[in-house]
Amino acid sequence: MNRVRQRVAVRLLSSATHHPSSPASGSGSGSGLGCRYGSAAAVGGAANMQMERAQSLLEQSVAFQLSLSSEPKPRAGKRVRVAVGVSGGVDSSVSAFLLKSMGYDVTGVFMRNWDATDERGESVCSYTRDRADAKAVCAQLGIPFEEVDFVKDYWNLVFEEFITDLENGLTPNPDILCNSQIKFKRFADYCISKFGVDFVSTGHYAQLRPSAWGAREVLLYRAADMNKDQSYFLCDVDQRALQKTLFPVGCFSSKQHVKDLAQMLHFPFVAEKKESMGICFVGKRPFSEFIRPYLRTTVPGNVVDIDSNKILESHENASAFTLGQRAGVGGAKDRVFVVKKQDATGTIFVGVGRNHPALFTNSLVAARFHWISSLRPEREVAEYQVRYRQPPGTCSIVLHDPNSQAPTVTAMFDKPQRAATRGQWLALYSPDGVCYGGGKITAVGPSLHDLGQSSPADYFL
């Protein structure tokens, strides 16, 4: 079977399909999919090993996840069908290649979630470029390219809650809600219904594996590349959806190997693309400028030094301030950071230094905690994350209504946690990287400043 996969991969790498080197720019010349690679070794060293490992794990995942389905299995000789959410980025492009190299029947589906023009008619997202790149990748791979519009669903199910949370003084994370409500619910259901696929795949850096305890369910693991791990953003996705999901690049030990493979596939227009950072719909504008027209209410107030209680200046909108971020305060002699928000009065407290004791807490509360599987923390101890790319910490937990399907969880950290913020999410993990699930943070314990304590000397952000 490995040799069959290698032959398919080499055939894809060797095909000479013409493509523009930069679809969005309209450049006319290109070198095609390959330089006539003569052997599988031409895929190249480490990238080749990563590709083979990904193919092997995909084969195992597909076999196990098909066994979980109550629907009829693909008949002998009939190919597994997969819809890939192609975004025009390197990760989804390589995912589509890997699935095609397995001999699967692959369809690329480009999803639009946001109206790409702002109120001035200017483009704020890279929608046009991303769509062109995604379409070019599908053409090179010889797979169908489809489009679907979820702008209205995104507005109703993600953006409205995002605005409401901001108005209530929270710092929301729209990516987690987008994954649980759009990508792995409405988008996945649409692809399964419309195209009759067995699986939906994305370029997320995460891994799915069978339960080691014999349960008929999948477990969500951290990605092999911890620096790119995106399991935190998937902590609210339900089990039913994950059983129909594939993450082909989650087992790659380095994103560089993914980029190397994209270069060998002659996808420079995605391999060399800068990674998108932040919230797409904000664009290049300051967040405060973007959000102002959407807020139904704003809370003005004062910016106050938390140590001296001195008013430094006034502001127009408390929602524009995020705990832990540097505050540009006129007249401040030192670099000051937002350390506390008083929602009722709109008062924003700032303190000198990014590790001010008012930023640290020993505990928080997360409501409506979502369990991904039947696996639970042993002895009420777990690893945790409260933000993307945060090094795992350890906490003890208390379930206030353990028999509930969505309990309230109190987490007490082994070490004080910086800038834990209401509206963000607490994700819990096992020591070997299984994501138990997550819940939205609704309350944060007293700060070290409130307790009269200093910041931890060994804290590094």
Residue-level pLDDT at 285: 63
Domain 2-282: give its CATH code: 3.40.50.620
Catalytic pick among 178, 191, 251, 435: 178
Fold entry, domain 298-352: SH3 type barrels. (2.30.30)
Q: Which residues of the chain have pLDDT under 50?
A: 4, 16-22, 24-42, 119, 122, 460-461
- Output the six-digit token pair for 123: 């483009």
Q: Is 280 labeled as catalytic in the residue annotation?
A: yes
Please tell me the pTM assigned to this model: 0.88
Spatial distance between the Cα atoms of 47 and 257, rounded to a whole number of angstroms: 5
Q: Which CATH number fits domain 360-444: 2.40.30.10, 3.30.230.10, 3.40.50.150, 3.40.1350.10?
A: 2.40.30.10
CA distances to 102, 310, 339, 443 from 349, in Å: 56, 10, 6, 18
Catalytic pick among 125, 138, 191, 280: 280
Spatial distance between the Cα atoms of 6 and 53, rounded to a whole number of angstroms: 12
* Domain residue spans of the chain: 2-282, 298-352, 360-444
DSSP string covering 382-440: EEEESSTTPPPEEEEEEESSTTSSS--EEEEEEEEEE---BTBEEEEE-TTSBEEEEEE
Residue-level pLDDT at 15: 53
Residue-level pLDDT at 293: 85
Residue 238: strand, helix, or coil: coil
Q: Is 125 labeled as catalytic in the residue annotation?
A: no
Please report where in the chains the tokens 């994103």 appear, as a residue.
Answer: 255
Residue-level pLDDT at 6: 54
